[in-house]
Amino acid sequence: MTAVYIGLGSNLDQPLRQLERAVEALTVLPRSRLFGTSTLYRSRALGGPPGQPDYLNSVVLLDTTFQPLQLLRALQEIERRGGRVRPAPRWGPRTLDLDLLLYGKRRMQGPILTLPHPQIQHRAFVLHPLYELNPDLEIPGLGTVRGLLPAISDQEITRLEASPA
């Protein structure tokens, strides 16, 4: 089993319900076991078309025997069931976005998947939930979550008291 962290995000079609359904789907994912879910965070959309609704975000910790590309395909199927249509405008609104953030200590760069997720160190909506799950988590090649947080302290993000689980 490998510990993986998955970022969840939604800003369309009942975002809270989208994230709840995603966590339900991850809970029953074969060859995997859900170990933790952060609380929800609200953040403004990065880039993309102006006027988008705010995003709801969370991060889950999952142990799995899936290989990275197999897991990515499973996550994309969950997104599809949540109404995600591909291709979509870069940084546009989403019914559901599931990002494979970390796969153990694996580092890889390919046309379909890069690990750790590119830009992970620049995103408060990823680092804050990761900190909640494991503040001393090592991001391969970048340092600990705790060490990365000060660099994004200027980003607006709101921690909500609920979780999508």
Using alpha carbons, select from 6, 94, 15 the residue that is nearest to residue 56: 15
* Structure tokens given for 26: 């991850």
Strand, helix or coil at 97?
strand
- Among residues 73, 84, 107, 146, which one is catalytic? 84
Which ranges constitute the DSSP H helices of the chain? 15-27, 68-81, 124-133, 145-148
- Among residues 13, 17, 90, 94, which one is catalytic? 94
The pairing of beta strand 97-103 with beta strand 2-10 = antiparallel
Identify the DSSP state of 44: P
- Among residues 99, 136, 154, 159, which one is catalytic? 99
Answer yes or no: 84 catalytic.
yes
Answer yes or no: 154 catalytic.
no
Q: Residue 79 and residue 81: Cα distance in Å, rounded?
A: 5
Answer yes or no: 106 catalytic.
no
- Among residues 21, 33, 80, 97, which one is catalytic? 97
Answer yes or no: 94 catalytic.
yes
Return phi, psi of residue 115, to 5°: -130, 140
CB 127 within 8 A of CB 148: yes
Supply the residues annotated as catalytic. Answer: 84, 94, 97, 99
